């Protein structure tokens, strides 16, 4: 499973940045909400663009786990979309988005680990 690293990295950084600049005093609330939704769409697109590469055996099983994890992350992202625009408790939504960012970052790391392990096996590494 591979992710366009720069695309995902940029999407995650963009969302993290807009969350950190949360609702600056004087900034219109709807403008902030719309900015968050735009960054969420970039993260969603990067997650949806993942593609599988594992061949068989343990790598295929790990990849299947990553696919299920990705689908769960996409579902969480999708569920938060309307809340960003409508929920009056912006701080709670922002906290959930921060947690989602951490979980997506861990998912991306697991993808990189799988790719590394596959490459190590191809090159004849020990294990």
In the numeric block, the tokens 């190590």 are attached to: 120
Nearest CA among 71, 72, 95, 68 for reference residue 83: 95
Task: Show me where the domains of the chain are located.
Answer: 5-122
Which of the given ranges, 47-51, 61-65, 74-78, 120-124, has the highest pLDDT on average?
A: 74-78
What 3-state DSSP class applies to 51?
A: strand
Asked if the 5-122 domain carries CATH number 1.20.120, the reply is yes
Q: What is the DSSP letter of 2?
A: B
Note the pTM of the prediction, 2 decimals: 0.83
Higher pLDDT, 110 or 127: 110
Cα dihedral 65/69/70/73 (nearest 10): 180
pLDDT the model gives residue 57 = 73
77 C-beta neighbours (distance < 10 Å), count:
19
Residue 84 main-chain phi, psi, to 5 deg? -60, -40
Separation in Å, CA 69 to CA 48, 50, 63, 116, 126? 12, 12, 10, 19, 28
Higher pLDDT, 59 or 74: 74
Q: Determine the Cα–Cα distance for residues 94 and 20; give it in Å rounded to an integer.
A: 9
Residue 53 pLDDT level (bands cut at 50, 70, 90): low
């Amino acid at each position: 499973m591979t992710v366009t690293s720069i695309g995902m990295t940029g999407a995650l950084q963009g969302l993290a940045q807009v969350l950190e600049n949360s609702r600056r005093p004087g900034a219109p609330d709807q403008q902030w909400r719309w900015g968050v939704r735009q960054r969420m769409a970039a993260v969603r697109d990067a997650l949806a663009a993942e593609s599988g590469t594992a061949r068989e055996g343990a790598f295929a099983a790990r990849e299947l786990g990553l696919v299920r994890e990705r689908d769960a992350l996409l579902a969480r992202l999708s569920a938060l979309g309307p809340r960003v625009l409508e929920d009056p408790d912006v701080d709670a939504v922002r906290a959930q988005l921060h947690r989602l960012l951490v979980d997506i970052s861990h998912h991306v790391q697991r993808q990189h680990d799988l790719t590394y392990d596959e490459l190590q096996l191809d090159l004849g590494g020990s294990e």
